[in-house]
Structure 1
């Protein structure tokens, strides 16, 4: 493919950067879901019992 004067193409480097950002985002979301699963949220009854004391 021949580019005309003044046209710009992202090329391989652009693809690699976007792919790396995609992989990083995937692993960050996976890690976030793991951490969110560790959070224990009290039920309303427990919260009301503690409030009454």
Structure 2
């Protein structure tokens, strides 16, 4: 193990764990967002034209 000088700073294991947890949380949020986006019903152009003609 190397000895650091008085002014040197190292993130160490705690820094790695924090970054890894943020990465896992981001992955889970994106996965959840994609699941929610697939539930959205978007009307197609043909559907909108048919409704306008019916009015």
Q: Under a length normalisation based on structure 1, what TM-score does the superposition of the two structures give?
A: 0.90
Q: Which runs of 4+ in 1 moved over 3 A?
A: none
Q: What is the Cα deviation at residue 48 of structure 1? A: 1.6
The residue number in structure 2 matching 1:18 is: 19
For 2:52 and 2:5, the matched residues in 1 are separated by 72
The residue number in structure 2 matching 1:4 is: 5
For 2:36 and 2:42, the matched residues in 1 are separated by 13
- Residues 1-53 of structure 1, C-alpha deviation per residue, up to 9 Å, x if partnerless? 11111000001111110000000000000000000011111110111222331
SS of equivalent to 2:5: coil
List gaps (5 residues or longer) in structure 1. Answer: none
For 2:24 and 2:42, the matched residues in 1 are separated by 30
The residue number in structure 2 matching 1:32 is: 33
Paired residues in the alignment total 53
Q: Under a length normalisation based on structure 2, what TM-score does the superposition of the two structures give?
A: 0.87
